[in-house]
Amino acid sequence: MTTLNRLLEQVGHRPWPKPAGPWVMTQVWYDLLFAHWPVPLGSLRPIIPAALEVDTFDGQAWLGVVPFGMDRVYPRRTFPVPWLSRFLELNVRTYVRVGDRPGVYFFSLDAANPVAVEVARRWYQLPYYHAEMSLRRGRGNRLDYHSYRTHPGAMPAEFKGSYRPTGAVFAARPGSLEAWLTERYCLYTVNRKGQVFRGEIHHAPWPLQPAEADIEVNSMALPHGLRLPDEGRRPALLQYAKRLETVEWGIGLVK
């Protein structure tokens, strides 16, 4: 049995069954940092489509800035191509729900692969942006990450910092804030007509590690009218993940 088949059979942790239809893409995410800040619900509600309910944990809304690397990105029944299948990405995200299914809402997704950006914008209706990006391993197992948005006509956005894991791998306890922030198995997007689309994803439980970060520049939230405390340099919560294999389904109309 392949690693991918074993992953697809690992479903006991999911909050709802995985889709019945065939998955369309596989991705591996690596050297990922979850950097999170609590934000006022009132600052998010006006900039999230009305068709989506802003999700909160004990009444608190959260915003995440998530730098990472992508590997083995390729559609079903094809194979990875070095330049197309491995690149860097950085997401600005918050948390929403439609009915009983919580998911992720992306304010932006910066990527260092122009083909991936154009495909995602056209076919997945996601706010992808071109960016110049680098990820280097420094001293003490630190990861130096830099992203600078270069998308024509887009507002500037930059992230520059370093991070590293500081403890052992753990599985987030069900019901904890860590699980609420990370264990989400779909994304939502809304088109110009106000139609809501859901994209389903499947993966094993996140192999999280506590982390530390030294962030020099973080203007990723500013294009959305959001100002983070300390200019986005001091996240309230940090977790690291070394590697996670995923499979994705195509987006489908919810309402």
Is residue 255 in a domain?
Answer: no
Closest CA to 41 of 254, 201, 226: 226
pLDDT at 218 > cutoff 80: yes
Is residue 218 in a domain?
Answer: yes
Q: What is the pTM of this model?
A: 0.95
Helix (H), strand (E), coil (C) string for 77-95 = CCCCCHHHHCEEEEEEEEE
Domain with residue 138: its CATH number is 2.40.400
Whole-angstrom distance, CA of residue 8 vs CA of residue 14: 11
> Is residue 9 helix, strand or coil?
helix
pLDDT at 12 > cutoff 90: yes
What's the rounded mean pLDDT across residues 86-90? 94
For residue 30, the one-letter residue type is: Y
Is residue 121 in a domain?
Answer: yes
* Mean pLDDT for all residues in the chain: 94
pLDDT tens digit string along 107-164?
999 999 998 888 888 778 899 999 999 999 988 889 999 999 999 999 999 999 999 9
Is residue 173 in a domain?
Answer: yes
- List the domain range (segments joined by +) for residue 50: 3-250
Strand pairing category for 128-137 and 101-111:
parallel
Is residue 237 in a domain?
Answer: yes
Domain total of the chain: 1
pLDDT confidence bin for 1, thresholds 50/70/90: very low
Residue in the block written with tokens 């860097």: 88
What residues does 159 pair with on adjacent strands?
147, 218
Q: Which H or E run contains 122? A: helix 114-123
Give the CA count within 13 Å in the CB-facing half-sphere of 32: 23
Is residue 56 in a domain?
Answer: yes
What's the rounded mean pLDDT across residues 71-92? 80
pLDDT confidence bin for 82, thresholds 50/70/90: low
Q: How many helices (H) and strands (E) does the chain have?
A: 5, 13
What's the rounded mean pLDDT across residues 234-254? 96
